[in-house]
A and B are shown apart, each in its own frame.
Chain A
Amino acid sequence: MSMQNNGIRLIGHVTSGTIDRISVRLHVSPKSVREGTFLKIKDGEDEYLGLLTDFELNATNPKYTEGFGLGQTPDHIAKLIKGQIFSSNIIFHPSLSLYGNKVYPIRNIPEHLAPVYIASAEDIRAVFGDPSDPANFVIGTTREDKHPVCLNLDKLVQRSSGVFGASGTGKSFTVRMILAGLIHYDQASILVLDMHNEYGLDDIASDTGERVTGLKTKFPAKVRVVSVGAGTTIRGNTPDFNLEIPSSDITTGDIELLTEELGLKETTSTTLAALYTEFGQSWFKAFRMMKVGAVIPEDPTKPNSRMIPAPDSVAAWANKAGVNSIAAEGLHSKMERVFHRPYVNHKPAVNGISEVIKMLEDGKHVVLSFGDNDSDLDYMLVSNILTRRIRQAWECKTNAYRNKSTNKTGAPRPLTIVVEEAHKLLCPALANQTTFGTIAREMRKYFVTLMIIDQRPSQISSEVLSQIGTRVSSWLGDDDDIQSTLAGLPGKEALRGMLSRLRPKEEALLMGWGVSMSMPVKTRRYDSRFWKELLGNIPITSGMSATGSTPISPDTSGTPSQEVDNTDEPKPSTDKLLKGLGW
């Protein structure tokens, strides 16, 4: 039996199954295929596409598994016989059906003995899109035949997305590539909250020591690198401009967000509310100017006069506002860390936040590097303030666009905010307080989505995770993280094992709304070839070559006749023989 059928490789036939789990008897060695291999069952005009999710080794009689007495038998015979008494099966998880080059959800299953093939480049293209379409970004290749697998960038930015993976699994490289694809495609603005200063400027890879190209280097006209804090540099490089935050932009909510970070107490809300009631938008500046512990004599004329809080003290304001003075002083002390952040300015020369928003509106992409101000406090505070302003701006623009009487311009430019260490801002305790939680839940309608990047997805609010459309995950080891990454996806039990068995580097599992079906891929390398292909618009064709594909070896345990298949050998025909014999 030939293992080739019009260039695609036959590996087995259907023996039994359900709509979720189809059992396939292998004609080839189980070592020739692997978990996650993209397969196709062809049953007449109907084609079923899905993944190999499990293996089964069977024996026709349990006695054989206890050692079939072949010790005295020559190896070549023993091998042949083992092929008949043992069988290798795989489990095929059907995801889509293909009819006339269009994909549909699975609604039925193939018949018994339908042949099963390794999917071809055409099948991959039908499901994941044509790599020559600019909207389709090749994120990697199939692990077996190196056929290109695309992410549709339009779909990617229509809903929030997530890039997950344990530390050191190449998450940042994957993100760099996706961002490069988005910037090159240029149908959405990107704001990267770059906590670790990785994406904007060139860097050195921590593990290999090799130079890693920054987005600014390749897209100098499209990307603006913004550093947090006046005069700050990024590894000695000067950014396009420095972001300073007017103190009037800091809300009491921004401080409440830092409750855990600052060790604030339950009384904080009351104190902050009183501050806002009295000082309005200037509350932060006013509170900062107050002094803790300042006292004056009640009657300066008397030498032993009782000491009372000074008029510019926290206690004096607290007494006047009717809040607990000790709680207010405690809050003031804890907020010292915020008061003295170098990027908080009562009257900055330019409103940096507005500048960033304008850049994004103008179609530029912004990498906000935190430079030396990269503590959790800095990240949470700046990110939340900036994102809140962005949200307001995009809501405003969208409402204007939808209001027919005032609609004079087109739809707002889609914006994707890339959030590193997302669990710091989207943990269950904070997800409802930060702007990010709101964006994840509601902002799709306002053309703003998130791309959250995290190594601990289990620390992210489940409500936020449920809103994540496209997911790209490298290897994850922790059960909870795997569970969270797969939350809400069909067939997650099969994907669970696949995710935990990805190679630690250069492999990822594509899942969710942005891809027609879940698929493990070998991710592209972020190197000079990547840039040449992306910027040179070089079409990426199948990596399969005569020697490049994974060889499918015959089943040495399943059907040994494959091993000696010599269909090319001439055989005497019976008719010819009969004629010769005069029968």
Chain B
Amino acid sequence: MPTSISKPSQLGRLVTASNDYYECLVPASQFSIPAFGDLVIAEISPDYRVFGLIGSISVHPIDGVEQYAIAAENLQEDTLTDLQNTPAKLGVIVVGFVDKGKISQMVPPRPPISLAGVSIANPQELVAFTENRGYLRHVLKVKSSTGLPAIEILAAHICRASEAHQAAGNKNWTVDAVTELTSQLRDDYDSLLNFAQAISDIPAAYFMKGG
């Protein structure tokens, strides 16, 4: 049996990329790990990593032959398992990078390379990267170019990042992030209304001084 070259925390591998967006394939075994709005890291080298937010998760479409097989009366367990092992594809919005220990929330100078390993940022990495909130602008601007649901991505991301910041003692992070996004969205009535409703699930305690 061949030895896996993936790191234990690796989610999948990058298959296509541009400066501000990339896609990666996630094996079926990892499918339950990524979540919409998560911060992920594409490791180009030990010193150079590209950060992104998961903006879409899709599964491979079942083609005609596969549909025929599924519809067969004598569908085998093995066949079903094979079909379920179809990898998922993540669409990731690039929001910054870290180069030799220095975090930048600009678009990286080069897109991540193909087959780079992609992993979910751990809470420490999440807190470190999102402490400054300039990266949120990357999500807002993708709305027009890719059709990704920017408001939903942001709401999901803030919900998850809030937990990490609360745990790290950054009691104001949620309020500051919501304030910043509201400020950027205030000229867009419909988006702001959507955003307000989308973040309703964030616990009220995160909006209070002291958490």
Contacts and interface: CB of A to CB of B under 8 A. Distances in A.
Nearest to A560: B179
B148 interface: no
Contacts of B200: 72-74, 77
A138 B97 CA distance: 63
Contacts of B179: 80, 83-84, 559-561
Interface in A1-48: none
A561 B101 contact: no
B194 to A, nearest CB: 10
Given A64-B189, A560-B179, A569 B128 contact: no
18 contacts: A72-B197, A73-B196, A76-B204, A76-B207, A76-B208, A77-B196, A77-B199, A78-B196, A80-B179, A560-B179, A561-B172, A564-B172, A564-B175, A564-B209, A571-B170, A578-B103, A581-B124, A581-B125
Interface string B176-211: 101100110011010011001101101010011110
Contact of A583 (B101, B196, B208): B101
B131 interface: yes
B139 to A, nearest CB: 18
* Contact count band on A: 35 or more
A580 B189 contact: no
Nearest to A567: B172
A68 B193 contact: yes
Give the dominant DSSP class at B's interface.
helix
A302 interface: no
A275 to B, nearest CB: 84
Contacts of B197: 72-73
Contact of A569 (B172, B189, B204): B172
B28 interface: no
Given A77-B196, A560-B175, A572-B169, A566 B210 contact: yes
Given A73-B200, A81-B196, A580 B124 contact: yes
B208 A564 contact: yes
Nearest to B100: A583
B168 interface: yes
B127 interface: yes
Given A70-B196, A564-B208, A570-B169, A85 B128 contact: no
B171 interface: yes
Contact of B182 (A74, A81, A572, A574): A81
Contact of B103 (A73, A74, A83, A574): A574
Nearest to B210: A566
Contacts of A63: 189
A479 interface: no
A61 B124 contact: no
Interface string B127-142: 1100110000000000
Interface residues of B, number: 36
Q: By CB atoms of chain B within 10 A, which of A61, A85, A563, A564 has the most?
A: A564
B89 to A, nearest CB: 28
Contacts of A574: 103, 128, 131-132
Contacts of A559: 179
B170 A583 contact: no
B10 to A, nearest CB: 17
A69 interface: yes
Contacts of B208: 76, 564
B196 A61 contact: no
Interface in A518-567: 559-561, 563-566
A78 B195 CA distance: 11
Contacts of A83: 179, 182
B175 A561 contact: yes
Interface string B70-111: 000000000000000000000000000010110100000000
Contacts of B199: 77
A221 interface: no
Interface of A: 60-61, 63-64, 68-70, 72-74, 76-78, 80-81, 83-85, 559-561, 563-566, 569-572, 574, 577-578, 580-581, 583
B98 A583 contact: yes
A24 B87 CA distance: 57
A85 B182 contact: yes
Nearest to A85: B186
Nearest to B193: A69
Nearest to A577: B128
Given A78-B196, A583-B101, A572 B209 contact: no
Given A61-B186, A64-B189, A77 B128 contact: no
Contact of A61 (B189, B202, B207): B189
Contact of B169 (A77, A563, A571, A581): A571
Interface string B109-131: 00000000000000011011001
Quick one: which of B175, B204, B210 has the most chain A CB within 10 A? B175
Given A80-B179, A81-B182, A572-B131, 6 more contacts: A78-B196, A564-B171, A564-B172, A569-B169, A577-B127, A583-B100
Contacts of A570: 169
A574 B127 CA distance: 9
A566 B208 CA distance: 10
A580 to B, nearest CB: 6
A64 B193 CA distance: 10
A583 B47 CA distance: 7
A61 B171 contact: no
Nearest to A79: B207
A218 B10 CA distance: 91
B186 A84 contact: yes
Central interface residue in A77, A559, A574, by most chain B CB within 10 Å? A77
B204 to A, nearest CB: 5
Contacts of A69: 193
A566 B186 contact: no
Contacts of B207: 76-77, 80, 564
A488 to B, nearest CB: 45
Of the candidates A76, A80, A583, the one having the most CB atoms from chain B within 10 angstroms of its own CB is A583
Given A74-B204, A80-B179, A583-B98, A85 B169 contact: no
A565 B209 contact: yes
Contacts of B169: 569-572
Nearest to A576: B128
Contacts of A561: 172, 175-176, 179
A314 to B, nearest CB: 88
Given A564-B209, A571-B170, A572-B168, A77 B178 contact: yes
A559 B187 CA distance: 17
Nearest to B173: A571
A77 B189 CA distance: 16
Nearest to A573: B131
